Chains A and B, each alone.
Chain A
Amino acid sequence: MRLVATKLGLRVQGRTIVDDVDLDIPAGETFGLVGPNGSGKSTLLRLLAGLCRRGTGQVQLDGVAISSLSRREVARRLAFVEQQTETSDALTARNVVELGRTPWINALSPFGSENVRIVDQAMQAVGMEGMGACPWSTLSGGERQRLQIARALAQDPQILLLDEPTNHLDIHHQLSLLRLVSRLPMTVVMALHDLNQAMGCDRVGVMSEGRMVACGPPADVLTPDRLGRIFRVRGSTLYDPQDGATLFRFHNLDETH
């Protein structure tokens, strides 16, 4: 599903958080959002999900304005995993994933076998099968993060928005998550902190002070000059002979050695 945003913006108490962002993400693309802290990545994702009531601009899903759809219709097309999710309810791991079926069932329909199968698959996709009975309060940050992603998958969306999905994850699960995401047949937009992870995206958008200052294939966008200006680091590229990939090593520009 194609995701098009025009002139997205949000001002809160006179402060501009996101300013005039245009995006056009074709179906099936994995799009990375990078930028320093406070550059507006999370807010942009919330705007794309249609969750900011005071936001300006328009989001279209396959040409249909998100504002013309009900929340339920949006949730069937688009799933969003926020950065911090907490609950004090005594939910089990499986209960959390089952929440993903909310847009597909109503108060009267029982939770049928088809829904059970989808929940099973989603838990399997993030490697949480067999942990369904564990109480949420006993799970680690990484396990919770993976469950939220499974919950989003259970929504059976065509667009997936992820806010720093690799946060809290150990290195093994970071890599398996990125592999999972890149193989998903859906449009994915994810905010990332690790620029090396962003190198694996089809395209990357660089956010700075609420604006999208660059957008394109990672190698074209993450240039030494831009790393210096936006992220205040000097990046030297290293070559991995094993798979021919280039990766960054960073040095802080503010420090003098």
Chain B
Amino acid sequence: MTLATAPGVIARPNRRLFCYGFGGIAILLLAVFAGVVLGETPLPLSRVANVLAHRIGGAALAADPIDAGIIWNYRMPRTLVAAACGAGLALSGLVLQSLVRNALADPYLLGVSAGASTGAVAVTIMGIGGGAIGISAGAFLGAALAFGLVAFLARAAGGGSSQLVLAGIAGSQLFNAMTSFFIAKSANAEQARGIMFWLLGNLSGVRWPDVALAGPTAILGLLICFWHVRAMDAFSFGASSAASLGVPVRRVTAALIGAVTLMTAVMVSLVGAIGFVGLVIPHAMRFLVGARHAALVPASALAGAVFMIAADIASRMMISGQVVPIGVVTALVGAPGFAAILIHRRRLP
């Protein structure tokens, strides 16, 4: 290769990459801005800009403290956590669909979210672990346990596609029942009410420390997925075919399932079990960018983040004076999406 041709050959894909990268980040920033501007209390743009300029840009003029409270301590962390959760859940769904070769794989349907809820509830109200393990760690253990149980059950039942979904239903039911049992046994009426609200998916209590947990988790998950895009492509024809293409199947599976369990557990422990994001977003992205994971991973993360921010805005504005659980909003959009996937799959040969 001569020096004259080298830059041209290399620059072209890079330039496209930059365009997509910048476009993606611009869309995300726009969504975050919308999440900060829109809400229960209408605030004029100028006052929002004031607070942001003060906080981010270090502008000297002091913003109104009430505005600052709403925007910087309430809407901002909430929006950022929504973005991290959306990205994490969409990536989890994408990875599971790729690894288990099942279009219906998603942390919610496979019972991983239910397991995480059980773990989080067990730590919160039963005091399991004696305060030594945090809620997120409890959720991680619950999620890992649920995933192991569902995978074992699916394998024992014959290892087929529908067996996995059925095992997921059994697992979800079992862990949801355990969650209800823990609540009935140990929680007082007020705790129970709070937990039921959280279980449906709720971002109301989210503050800055939660951003410090959700953000790095989503970024770590994204990096692990990015590192394995070619391996996930190689899984197109199943694990055995991936192995013969040079993918160390057990190590890759362990890393990716670990990432899924971590992302699901952290997101569930922060905002509750939110369904359908992991299912619908990756499928929608397949329509837009094709089946290659090098494109699917960033597209799903971005779309998941934007979708969750939008769902959060809708949950705040749908009924005036009342916040609808975000899980209700994602289900209202996601359930028809799920139906569309089922019908579309039927048409495939």
Contacts and interface: CB of A to CB of B under 8 A. Distances in A.
Interface in A70-87: 70-76, 79-80, 82, 85-87
Given A88-B348, A91-B236, A107-B227, 15 more contacts: A70-B246, A71-B248, A74-B246, A75-B245, A82-B241, A86-B238, A88-B103, A90-B290, A99-B233, A100-B245, A102-B245, A110-B10, A112-B9, A137-B349, A155-B245
Interface of A: 46, 49, 51, 70-76, 79-80, 82, 85-91, 95-96, 99-100, 102-103, 105-107, 110, 112-113, 137, 155
B236 A79 contact: no
Best-surrounded residue of A82, A102, A106 (most CB of chain B within 10 A): A102
Interface of B: 9-10, 13-14, 101, 103, 226-231, 233-234, 236-238, 240-241, 243-249, 286, 290-292, 345, 348-349
> Considering the complex of A and B, which 3 residue pairs feature the smallest CB-CB distances, nearest first?
A75-B246, A103-B246, A72-B246
A74 B247 CA distance: 10
Contacts of B238: 85-87
A74 B243 CA distance: 10
Nearest to B14: A110
A51 B244 contact: yes
Given A102-B230, A107-B226, A85 B246 contact: no
A51 to B, nearest CB: 6
14 contacts: A46-B240, A51-B243, A71-B243, A71-B246, A71-B249, A72-B247, A82-B244, A85-B237, A89-B291, A90-B286, A105-B230, A107-B227, A110-B14, A113-B9
Contacts of A71: 243, 246-249
Contacts of B348: 88, 137
Given A105-B230, A107-B230, A110-B13, A86 B246 contact: no
Contacts of A96: 236
A113 B6 CA distance: 11
Contacts of B246: 70-76, 102-103
Nearest to A113: B9
Nearest to A75: B246
Contact of A102 (B9, B234, B286, B349): B234
A223 B345 CA distance: 51
A156 B231 CA distance: 18
Contacts, number: 80
A99 B226 contact: no
Contacts of A76: 246
Contacts of A155: 245
Contacts of B291: 89-91, 95
Contacts of B245: 75, 99-100, 102-103, 155
Contacts of A137: 348-349
A45 to B, nearest CB: 10
A197 to B, nearest CB: 23
Contacts of A74: 246
A46 B241 CA distance: 11
Nearest to A80: B244
B236 A99 contact: yes
A90 B283 CA distance: 11
B102 to A, nearest CB: 9
Contacts of B248: 70-72
A111 to B, nearest CB: 8
Best-surrounded residue of A72, A74, A87, A89 (most CB of chain B within 10 A): A89
A107 B228 contact: yes
B228 to A, nearest CB: 7
Nearest to B12: A110
B42 to A, nearest CB: 43
Contacts of B234: 99, 102
Contact of B244 (A75, A106, A112): A75
